Amino acid sequence: MEVNGDDGEPTAKSSAEEEMTTFSRHNFGNSENTDDGFSVTIIENMKEEYGLFVWPCSIILAEYIWQQKSRFTGASVVELGAGTSLPGLVAAKVGADVTLTDDSSRVEVLTHMRRQCDLNDIKCKIRGLTWGVWDAQTFSLCPNIILGADVLYDSCAFDDLFATVTFLLQNCPSSVFITTYHNRSGHHLIGFLMVKWGLKCVKLLDGFSFMPSHKTSSLSGNIQLAEIILDTANRDDTKLM
């Protein structure tokens, strides 16, 4: 989705927004050898309204994708709440067919996601997807892998997020939701919602346990990585509509 101004031309950044824009470079493997590594450049914008910068959860999830790259080659991948889109861009670089999504109302974020793809010469589909809203965009997705970096931060949105994840997992029953999140006070709510929506966690890792030491110095927090699937043994077979 290319987001344009009222005259059909791409919207220009204001001088204030330009001043708040920086670039960060993220290396994976041996980035000097294109056969065994690459780098991704991310445009970060500290504009207060939407804070488009790379969170630690995104860095950890992106590294996990790199280390698990054989799983992603040829896979259909959807990133939820993509924002700066680092995990999705890494998945695309290792050969996945990637759709980057964020809230349909956040037009500036969708525009930003397209800029990230263009800057890195990566082809991804860009779609507005609001959690808990059943529209054509949602119904058309059938991913093998769903990604979400730090999407479990607002407990008020947890139910809508899990409803959307469950629907997407049902569309492709062998699929998996891979998410990184800060182990905050809402952790118990995550477990409750997995039971409510008929999901189960099949892998739970300390986010720093697989990170190269040179990447951890600037990261902090108690970050978990979870792989979540449908709990077919303990759920109703009725699909969400």
The helix or strand, by DSSP H or E, that contains position 203, with its residue range, turns out to be: strand 199-206
DSSP-derived 3-state class of residue 145: strand
Find the domain containing 117 and state its range: 53-230
The tokens of 166 are what? 């469950």
Residue 155 domain-assigned?
yes
Residue 141 domain-assigned?
yes
pLDDT score, position 186: 63
pLDDT score, position 50: 54
Whole-number Å distance between alpha carbons of 228 and 130:
20
Residue with tokens 């809203």: 133
We report the CATH number of the domain holding residue 106 as 3.40.50.150
For the beta carbon of residue 215, count every other beta carbon within 10 angstroms.
17
SS (H, E, C) 205-226: EECCCCCCHHHHCCCCCCEEEE
Amino acid at 206: D
Question: Looking at the 3D structure of the chain, how many domains does it have?
Answer: 1
List, run by run, the mean pLDDT of 10-residue segments along the chain (241 residues).
38 52 92 78 75 88 97 98 96 98 93 96 97 92 96 90 97 95 78 94 96 91 95 64 37
pLDDT score, position 168: 97
How many CA atoms lie less than 13 Å away from 18 in the CB half-sphere? 5
pTM over 0.75: yes
Residue 198 domain-assigned?
yes
Residue 24 domain-assigned?
no
Residue 37 domain-assigned?
no
The helix or strand, by DSSP H or E, that contains position 161, with its residue range, turns out to be: helix 158-171
